[in-house]
Amino acid sequence: MLKITTKERPGAIAFVLEGRLCGPWATEAKLAWTQLVASTQDQEILLDLAGVTFIDRDGEALLVSMLGRGTKVRATGVMISHLVQEVQERVSRGEPADSRGAPEP
């Protein structure tokens, strides 16, 4: 399950996700994100992942597109924070959404 909400702040909108960012919920989050981006003017969008407990490859691909537009992220927890850091590094290197480093033999 995934809860998606937005919170207005002065000059910015927070896009808040809570729960599991995976499978069909990642698809719903992508739809909500697309609608939010299309409806904002000059407002900054802040991505709040503090309540996210799990992210699969679909969710990770969504994060790549979100962070690729320069979105700021708030994440807590070791696993989610680490994943966000990895995604941010991939985005800064210009890697595609579905690329991950292959494990060393």
CATH number for the domain harbouring residue 41: 3.30.750.24
- The Cα–Cα gap between 93 and 102 comes to 16
Would you say residue 88 lies in a domain? yes
Is residue 30 within 8 Å of residue 7, measured between CB atoms? no
Handedness of CA 70, 87, 96, 19 (dihedral sign): negative
Would you say residue 101 lies in a domain? no
pLDDT of residue 103: 38
Q: Consecutive sets of 10 residues in the chain, 105 residues long: mean pLDDT of each?
A: 93 95 96 93 90 95 92 93 93 73 40
For the chain, how many structural domains are there in total? 1
Would you say residue 105 lies in a domain? no
pLDDT of residue 102: 40
Would you say residue 68 lies in a domain? yes
Neighbour count for residue 5 (Cβ, 10 Å): 12
Among residues 88, 60, 61, which one has the least CA distance to residue 73?
Answer: 88
